Structure 1
Amino acid sequence: MTDAARPAHHADQPRHADERRRADLAGRLAAVRERIATAAVAAGRDPAELTLVAVSKTYPAEDAVILHTLGLRDFAENREQEAGPKVNLVTHQLLGGGAPRAGGPEAGAGAAADPAKAASTPGAGLAVPDRPVWHFVGQLQRNKARSVLRWADWVQSVDRAALVDGLSRAAVERGRPLSVCLQISLDPPRASSGADSSGVAVSGRGGIDPGAVSELADLVARAPGLTLRGVMAVAPRGESPRGAFARLRNVAERLVRDHPGATVISAGMSGDLESAIAEGATHLRIGTALFGERPGVP
């Protein structure tokens, strides 16, 4: 091989790697969609009722862009410090590339009420049906509320009253409502020392005690800039997920009696999505089955 030929050979390597990754993600997405459709039919449900949320934590922006081109629109992150730059990169790649705007996603994602703000908003240049919808699903610290709302459309992990005021103020400032799910602890009593004074289950995994849901729901529903959408939970370790998701369904049914618009049940991950669908899940948070294993990541 001549020296002149070598650069072209090496230049092809990234392109071939991109093609392999696209094929891998397309195959994984097809398999997940088939699992969802099969489980929905078995439960007597319409697969079209279900929203697949790709949990893209630790994976590069390029993976989210590929899945977006394959038709996915909902993506989730659980670490604010990783999510902000990633959302910015995804937005700019979907808009045709170019260097990300200095300052990243500080203006927030999606259409802003102020046209001047909209010009610097991640995703604002994309047609609304095409814009990615970003969910925050990690445990949220009070001092991170403003940072998370620079990019998040949803926060699915609200589990204490102390978070509500900060989220409300940040949502009002950005001029666009935030969709909120209450994170419910499904840990059995023996796995938890109960709940703290704000009703948060003390199990180290986040989530409000089911008995404290009503008060928190009322608080969110009254808060300016917040829209109460429903509940979210993670199946506890060492227990059948079906039984845990049945408990979540009971909580959701009680919630919707007082808040008819709060119909979302965000439950089910790669290993238990079938159980979640059987118990009424509307949003499925899928990571490993879509992206592959995450070595060394808890």
Structure 2
Amino acid sequence: MDADTLRHNIDRLLERVRLSAEKSQREPDTVRVLAVSKTRPATDVRSAAALGLREFGENYLQEALDKIETLADLDLCWHFIGPIQSNKTRPIASHFHWVHSVDRLKIARRLSEQRPEELPDLQVCLQVNISGEASKSGVSLEDLPALARAVTQLPRLRLRGLMAIPAAATEPAQQRQPFAALRQALAELQRDDPGLDTLSMGMSGDLEAAIAEGATIIRVGTDIFGPRSAPPGG
């Protein structure tokens, strides 16, 4: 990707974050930008890192592992944000700093058991199916408290908060509704676990609504790297 275009995109995104945060009477540095680098080559990630981005989100495991190895000379923080199959938990537990897409106890237990002891605790978010879509992964709001209590007890994991991918909406009020529901769900969990501090929500098209409702991590791909190419095979 052209370096000037990438710099322009990042500068414009950070300005959007600043303005959105200030509108909501928040400090801009309370919103972390997670650059979604799925389908992008390692060279684009390296260029983005040179422009100050440090946290990158990946959906496709093998592609991510290749990039992590290629970019091992950089001090980057890698987040796994895609659906998790049981047979892929070991490399996720071994190579990532964060996992945003834990949606059932079986996966959490495998990540806990397979996290190497020499590494810091794996930071995890529970993915909530906030819009109740049959096509999307995520724990229901009804089942969330029990899952959170169980995950909190697992060694080598640190539960940080919640993640959601709401149904697409174009009107700001419609965008804010599921984000508000996720914020409320986190607030309820915080009564028992005050250390929960993360709301991973909001993407290129709805980040203003997410920030208004308390997002602490926004996951942005298109507005940094441009339209993505087709996902890798396999």
TM-score after normalising by structure 1: 0.74
**C-alpha contact (below 8 Å) 1:164/1:219 kept by paired residues:** no
Corresponding residue number in structure 2 for 1:183: 127
Higher strand share: 2
Equivalences for residues 231-250 of structure 1 within 5 A: 231-238=162-169, 240-250=174-184
Partner of 1:277: 211
Whether 1:73 aligns to 2:17 is no
- The normalised TM-score by structure 2 is 0.93
Structure-2 change in CA distance of 1:291 and 1:36 (3 Å): same
Q: Does 1:155 align with 2:155?
A: no
Q: Do residues 45 (structure 1) and 44 (structure 2) align?
A: no
1:116-265 equivalence runs, <5 A? 131-188=75-132, 192=133, 203-238=134-169, 240-265=174-199
Give CA-to-partner distance per residue, 1:24-51, whole Å, 9 cap, x none.
1111000000000000011110001111
Aligned-CA RMSD value? 1.6
Q: In the TM superposition, what whole-angstrom CA distance separates every residue of 1:128-165 from its partner, at most 9, and x where no partner exists?
A: xxx21100000101111101123210000000111121
Q: Distance in 2 between matches of 1:217 and 1:172?
A: 22
Query: 1:78-121: CA deviations, max 9, x gaps?
Result: 111110011111124x4xxxxxxxxxxxxxxxxxxxxxxxxxxx
Report the Cα distance in structure 1 between the residues aligned to 2:107 and 2:202, rounded to whole angstroms. Answer: 24
Unmatched runs of 5 consecutive residues or more in structure 2: none
In the aligned structure 1, how far is the partner of 2:231 from the partner of 2:202?
Answer: 19
Pairs aligned (count): 229
Rounded to whole Å, the distance in 1 between the matches of 2:69 and 2:178 is: 36
Identify the structure with bigger relative contact order (alpha carbons < 8 Å, sequence gap 6+): 2
The reply to whether residue 63 of structure 1 matches residue 44 of structure 2 is yes
Residue 175 (structure 1) shift: 3.4
Query: Percent identity at matched positions?
Result: 40
Separation (CA, whole Å) in 1 of partners of 2:66 and 2:230 = 22
**For 2:22 and 2:92, how far apart are their aligned partners in 1?**
36
C-alpha separation between the residues in 2 aligned to 1:74 and 1:48? Answer: 14
Q: Please tell me whether Structure 1 or Structure 2 has the larger radius of gyration of its CA atoms.
A: 1
